[in-house]
Structure formats: C-alpha cells, structure tokens
Chains A and B, each alone.
Chain A
Amino acid sequence: SAVISQKPSRDICQRGTSLTIQCQVDSQVTMMFWYRQQPGQSLTLIATANQGSEATYESGFVIDKFPISRPNLTFSTLTVSNMSPEDSSIYLCSVEFPGWEDTQYFGPGTRLTVL
C-alpha cells in the first residue's frame, strides 16, 4: 500500500510567523486535499490541490492565509501564514488513489501549536 508522509509532525510557533507543511506520497495521485482538525471537532476541508492548477479553497479559507503548492503528482505544501493561536490545530493532507477515487486516505498529520 502507498505511504503518505507529512513534515513536520509537530511544531510550536510564535504568533505572526509562518509554517510550511509538506505532504509526500510515494505514488502519483491526481487529487490531494488539505484538512484542519481542531480539538473535538470534525475534519474541515481547507482546499483541494490538483497538479497544474490553482488550489480550490473552501468557504472561510483564503489563499493569502493558506497558500498551497502542488508542483508534481506526489507532493504538496500548505503554508499557514501570519499565525495566531486560533490556527493551533492538526493539519492533515489526504489523497485519492487512481482507481480508488471514492475513498480518501490521510497522512499522519502535523500538530501545530501557536503561542
């Protein structure tokens, strides 16, 4: 089975700084997604990242705050910009594998704490 990895696994950051989270898949995928999960809450989709096109953001999320890159079919980054304590959350990437587009598989997540 394919492996999805994320870096960093966790970080503690100061208010006003930015953090870039990486998501790497060991096989090519068309669709990659970025989610946020705050304590006790459901998974909230931030954006969909397809290779070769601009990311599509969900309501309440904007590119200036969460810029996303998708340079190829195995890699994506999410940046959390100008962080505030409200951005403290777990950030998860997920993918849909060719032939299994009905199902999402998640990376291990990045636990972010903003002081």
Chain B
Amino acid sequence: RKEVEQDPGPFNVPEGATVAFNCTYSNSASQSFFWYRQDCRKEPKLLMSVYSSGNEDGRFTAQLNRASQYISLLIRDSKLSDSATYLCAVRSSGGSYIPTFGRGTSLIVHP
C-alpha cells in the first residue's frame, strides 16, 4: 500500500457544485496534514493545513479522520477557477519529518 493515496480523477463538476476529495495515508504516526493546489505547469501552492478539529477557509473545508486514516477536502459552490490538481501531503513524526505527497486529484469545473 502506498504511503499516501489519492483518487487521480478527474472530477468533472458544474459550477456551483459541491465536491469532496479524500486522501488516505498508511502511517498511523502521521502528525501533520496539508492540502496543496497545483495549476497546470505551475508549482504546488499551499491551500490549507488540516487540523485535528477540522478547519474551514471560505468555501474550503478540510477534515481529518485519524481512525480511518484519511483527510478530506470539501469545496462548496465550485468556481471555474477552482479547476486544478489538489495534492495532499502528510508528515510523520520521527525520521526526517519530510512530507510525503499524494499524486493529486484533478478537478475540472465546467460552466
């Protein structure tokens, strides 16, 4: 099993839709979790950290489920500009503490 797994998609949704992505991780000692957004031919940019209690930033909500070892990203009222690839990143305690990235989930929001 890969350390961090994401459904590559693409998720193809109309404007205004609500869409959710999951990211599963295999290391139960994982401590920090992030969602990055990557536009085509651009670098990944931090979208939001994921806190144990869940957190929200405008239309975006991130949640952590430690029991089932996954994080989720919910996007409400999708905009055309939300079209991108969403990467999750997971950091574990001990070792080099360097994050492991998922392959990313592609989102296409159409008119």
Contact = CB atoms under 8 A, between A and B. Distances in A.
Interface in A87-115: 92, 102-109, 111
A48 B96 CA distance: 9
Interface stretch (A39-47, A64-72, A78-86): A39-47
B43 A56 contact: no
B101 A106 contact: no
Contacts of A45: 98
B46 interface: yes
Size category, A interface:
10 to 19
A61 B104 CA distance: 23
B28 to A, nearest CB: 19
B34 interface: yes
B38 to A, nearest CB: 9
14 contacts: A40-B8, A41-B103, A42-B102, A42-B103, A43-B87, A43-B101, A48-B98, A92-B43, A102-B32, A104-B99, A106-B44, A108-B42, A109-B43, A111-B41
Which of A43, A56, A108, A111: most chain B Cβ within 10 A? A43
Contacts of B104: 42
A33 interface: yes
Contacts of A106: 43-45
Contact of B91 (A102, A108, A109): A102
B45 A42 contact: no
A40 B91 CA distance: 22
